[in-house]
Amino acid sequence: MLIHKTLGEFIVENQSDFPHAKGDLTALLSSIKLAAKIVNREINKAGLVDIRGASGIENIQGEEQQKLDKYANEVFKNALIARGEVCGIASEEEDHYVFFDNQNSRNANYVVLMDPLDGSSNIDVNVSVGTIFSIYRRISPVGGPVSMEDFLQVGRKQVAAGYVVYGSSTMLVYTTGNGVHGFTYDPSIGVFCLSHEAMTFPKSGKIYSINEGNYSKFPLGVKKYIKYCQEEDDATNRPYTSRYIGSLVSDFHRNLLKGGIYIYPQTAQAPKGKLRLLYECNPMAFLAEQAGALATDGYTPILDLKPTALHQRVPFFTGSVDMMDTVHQFMKEYKE
């Protein structure tokens, strides 16, 4: 019987990934692992306890917070505070960044940005959802309070990023800049086991993920690309297959395994698109590039964009290199 390496063992084995860390990033990743187990437990019984449905509270995005959104936010915040490895957190569920004003946290080296439960509107219909996290070393002096500049760092400065996908099985996928590694949760022993070492995006694919209900509002380049995906052409394996779960983590995870492209573009009504740069696009872009794929706003690599606000949105294109090259050609040719 094969006994898989655990996430904990893998993190410790690969501590050399973060030379400047003194084991504190290891402890930080372990906090995230613990929080993921707790959130996973609640998601799996969401149908059984009064934790489903909307909380009646709106987050800064004006989106109704699902009760599990709020719950997941508290679980990750508390797990991170408990170990004193983090001096501050930014979250989709928090209007402003959260600064932990105790000496332990003041002396911490890292900030975490997260979407604690992305795609949460899917919970009540039993469709997979995810947690997304992004980790930076602080810029502000250790010992002092955290500052906004700690959170507004360019995506290439991330020291780690990852997601948890709560699906038919629960997986944690992360990178520290040395490849992308996937761990599948075994609830019978409460452990994340290494199941996908050194994950790589297929260079080409046949799956395109986009909400075609917004077709009429898309930029011309995106409209032209969608039609390209739908054309008959045996030489280039078209028409492609349309797959859209409505949960970024799930669509990204499937495309990472099978090849494909995910697009959430700008529209006339939402000129910056819907997805948030800091805690959705930057971490997913770090993973994409580490897995040999691309992530842009249709023109510029996501990781090169200089953030200006915690909750800013950007158009998001990510996936297999060949498919991204093609959509970039359309975006360039039909730039409005």
Residues of this chain that bind ligand P6P (CB under 6 A): 118-119, 211, 246-248, 251, 274-275
Nearer to ligand P6P, 69 or 289 (CB): 69
User: Is 92 assigned a ligand-binding role in the annotation?
Assistant: yes
- Taking the complex as a whole, the smallest distance from the CB of residue 277 to ligand P6P amounts, in Å, to 13
Yes or no: say if 287 and 195 are a contact pair by the CB < 8 Å rule. Answer: no
- Taking the complex as a whole, the smallest distance from the CB of residue 234 to ligand P6P amounts, in Å, to 31
Yes or no: say if 287 and 161 are a contact pair by the CB < 8 Å rule. Answer: yes
- Taking the complex as a whole, the smallest distance from the CB of residue 62 to ligand P6P amounts, in Å, to 12
Nearer to ligand P6P, 118 or 150 (CB): 118
d(C-alpha 221, C-alpha 232), whole Å = 19
User: Is 120 assigned a ligand-binding role in the annotation?
Assistant: yes
User: Is 147 assigned a ligand-binding role in the annotation?
Assistant: no
154 vs 16, 184, 200, 220, CA distance in Å?
23, 30, 24, 29
305 vs 154, 196, 226, 282, CA distance in Å?
6, 30, 26, 9
Nearer to ligand P6P, 59 or 105 (CB): 59
Nearer to ligand P6P, 28 or 129 (CB): 129
User: Is 162 assigned a ligand-binding role in the annotation?
Assistant: no
- Taking the complex as a whole, the smallest distance from the CB of residue 275 to ligand P6P amounts, in Å, to 6
User: Is 325 assigned a ligand-binding role in the annotation?
Assistant: no
Binding residues, as ranges, are 92, 115, 117-121, 211, 244, 274, 280
Binding residues for Mg(2+), as ranges, are 92, 115, 117-118, 280
Binding residues for substrate, as ranges, are 118-121, 211, 244, 274
